[in-house]
Structure 1
Amino acid sequence: MTPARRALVVGIDNYISYNNLAGCVNDARALAPVLARNEDDSPNFEVRTLTAPATTGRVTRDELLEALDQLFAPGADMSLLYFAGHGAQVGDGGDVVLVTTDATRQTPGVRFTEIMERVNDCTHEVAVILDCCFSGGAGGVPAAMSQGAILRQGVSMLTASRADQTSAETLDGRGQFSAYLEGALEGGAADVLGHLTLAGLYAYLSEAFGTWDQRPMFKANVDRLQDIRRCDPSVPLETLRQLPVWFPEADALFALDPTYEPDKRESNLPPNPEHEGIFKQLQKCQSAKLVEPAGAEHMYFAAMQSQACRLTPLGRHYHHLASAGRI
């Protein structure tokens, strides 16, 4: 049975009492179709999009609250909230507000405490991605605290900046954080098996920003990482399952000789389709940093010089998964 997964994607450029923005609606429109389908085009999240283009659109506080009620209502296995727009710090407790089009001085939008009340009342997995100023403070507000934990069990959060930082837009009308996020979701942050989690997104995004830039933050209270999106494995699963066959022990060497290399004109050897097929798969593993030549600089020379190849530390990890029947 396919898991029920909902995503609410919000992008607000139009504001009455705040300066208009230029990239939030573009970000929402770019990310919505990526979240809706996995790389193999299978369904992922059922996405609802709320956008307020500059000068014409509106996303009011009431509309956002109603959409949040629907997002976190029973009947889902996982909910994801993405918000791009103005963020503001309010009150002495460091609460963060997701600013809506109709913001006023007294009611600037939806406080994150209000969002966390809904998150804590629901029972399914929740992921929150915020691309707004001061968004890092959202993980530390009082409503996010539950029995001493920053977030309740099953909740993870990725923010564009620390609690004391603003979030930048690019010259071509995108949020800098969300532009990198799109590349990560399209496969840049996927592991060898094609899993793409919020932790993987954070690892990718944290490398995209320098020490002088805004710094993304990641907080989670989970006992397992849910896939945000599934991408194609960088190495076919049937190849990964062969690792314990080719390497009976994780530190074993796989002996090569010229029969494995398809281009063996210098050796005058006849073709060997079986060996050449294995070598092609080993080269894919090398591209994914799972296998490396032993005693030679390249896999080609390892074969032509009758050397060997071996598993890298990452390769030994997937060897263990394959041996345990987890692939």
Structure 2
Amino acid sequence: MRKALVIGIDYYAAGGSLSGCVNDAHRVGTMLESHSDGSPNFDVRLVTASSDRDQITFRTLKDLIVELFKSEDDIALLYFAGHGYVDATGGYICGSDSCQGDEGLALGDIMSLAGQSKAKNRIVILDSCHSGAAGADPLKPAVSEVTIGTTILTASRADEAATEISGGGVFTELLVDALAGAAANLVGEVTPGSVYAHIDQSLGSWGQRPVFKTNVSGFVSLRKVRPPIDPDILRALPKLFPDYGFQLQLDPSFEPELPSQGLNPLADPENTEIFSQLQKLNRVNLLIPDSQPHMYHAAVNSDTVRLTALGEHYRRLALKKRI
């Protein structure tokens, strides 16, 4: 079982209302509730505040998060988009009724609730200003305490704002892209670590910087998307390349067509099928020709092909039956 609480607050009674947090929450909730093939993923509870009629007060905010982390599920995930605040005592996320930043819900309380949760994995994702203070000790700002099984991903460092642009958060825009598949590995899994890597690479050195803190023995999959290559081809890697550094010899019988002659009279159906798989491996940077510029030239010129370092990694995974 996988449970997600997704909160977006645009409306703030004391002013300073936002414009993109509700939209961001809807987009994140939609991504999390199903995998790309439509199969169910997280059981999402979406709570948003667009006006005074549906405001999310401090009390409601805390009660929702308390309920989430009572979970005994595989994953309990919190996503929050709204105002954040930090002072000498620590960081906060703000409900609609917060008149001052320190009237919000303390990040320390959230991390305490997550740390005490019986859920196997707790994931906290915050798109709010100063959210990088999550997990930090106010007396030792350079020190973070993250309990086993907990992962924190935030839009900015403790001393930074989180930017909105074009009706949404910069961080959440990249988060949604990552969940949609931009951060997927070759078996189609999106993990918290790959999401962070995608966001980190996308934000420049002069803007807000995302923060990633984790204390886990293994990453979990947040979402599954269609893999860029058939997993059966990955599983066949040890058969095609039985040893580390193995060079597979090609010859013209692997190429089904020749530019000047059409169908290749030397083509062997079994070899052309293998060559089709090799070309797909080449397209995702798992395989390269040893001395020729393209796979076609490797075949017609009887060159060898070999796995890249990434290809060797997936060959080892296939050997261990982890694909």
Q: State the TM-score bracket (shorter-chain normalisation).
A: over 0.9
1:161 matched to which residue of 2? 156
What is the TM-score with the length of structure 2 in the denominator? 0.93
2:18 is the counterpart of 1:24: no
Give distance in 2, aligned partners of 1:81 and 1:198.
13
2:79 is the counterpart of 1:82: yes
Q: What's the CA shift for 1:144?
A: 12
- Please say if residues 117 and 143 of structure 1, whose CA atoms lie closer than 8 Å, have aligned partners that are also in contact: no
Residue ranges of structure 2 left out of the alignment (5+ in a row): none
Counterpart of 1:6 in 2: which secondary structure? Answer: strand
Counterpart of 1:279 in 2: which secondary structure? Answer: helix
- Please say if residues 144 and 151 of structure 1, whose CA atoms lie closer than 8 Å, have aligned partners that are also in contact: no
Give distance in 1, aligned partners of 2:77 and 2:112.
15
2:181 is the counterpart of 1:184: no
- Please say if residues 21 and 54 of structure 1, whose CA atoms lie closer than 8 Å, have aligned partners that are also in contact: no
- The 5 A counterparts of 1:253-264 are 253-264=247-258
Q: 1:209 aligns with which of 190, 203, 210?
A: 203
Distance 1:253 1:183, change over 3 A: same
What is the TM-score with the length of structure 1 in the denominator? 0.92
Counterpart of 1:43 in 2: which secondary structure? Answer: coil
- The 5 A counterparts of 1:178-257 are 178-257=172-251
1:286 matched to which residue of 2? 282
Give distance in 1, aligned partners of 2:93 and 2:83.
6
2:317 is the counterpart of 1:304: no
Q: 1:138 aligns with which of 134, 137, 141?
A: 134
Counterpart of 2:134 in 1: which secondary structure? Answer: helix
Distance 1:60 1:221, change over 3 A: same
State the AA in 2 paired with 1:101. S
Q: What's the CA shift for 1:149?
A: 6.4
> Residue by residue, what CA displacement relative to the aligned partner does 1:250-301 show, whole Å, maximum 9, x if unpaired?
2011111222222235464154332222111111111111111111011111
- The 5 A counterparts of 1:24-43 are 24-43=21-40
State the AA in 2 paired with 1:33. T
Give distance in 2, aligned partners of 1:266 and 1:106.
73
- Please say if residues 116 and 144 of structure 1, whose CA atoms lie closer than 8 Å, have aligned partners that are also in contact: no
Give distance in 1, aligned partners of 2:46 and 2:140.
25
Q: 1:122 aligns with which of 97, 117, 122?
A: 117
Distance 1:149 1:133, change over 3 A: closer
> Residue by residue, what CA displacement relative to the aligned partner does 1:85-115 show, whole Å, maximum 9, x if unpaired?
100113x23x111111011338622111221
Deviates more, 1:257-266 or 1:128-137: 257-266
- The 5 A counterparts of 1:107-118 are 108-118=103-113
State the AA in 1 paired with 2:296. Y
2:168 matched to which residue of 1? 174
> Residue by residue, what CA displacement relative to the aligned partner does 1:58-101 show, whole Å, maximum 9, x if unpaired?
111111112112211133111000011100113x23x1111110
Q: Percent identity?
A: 39
2:42 matched to which residue of 1? 45
Q: How many residues align?
A: 319
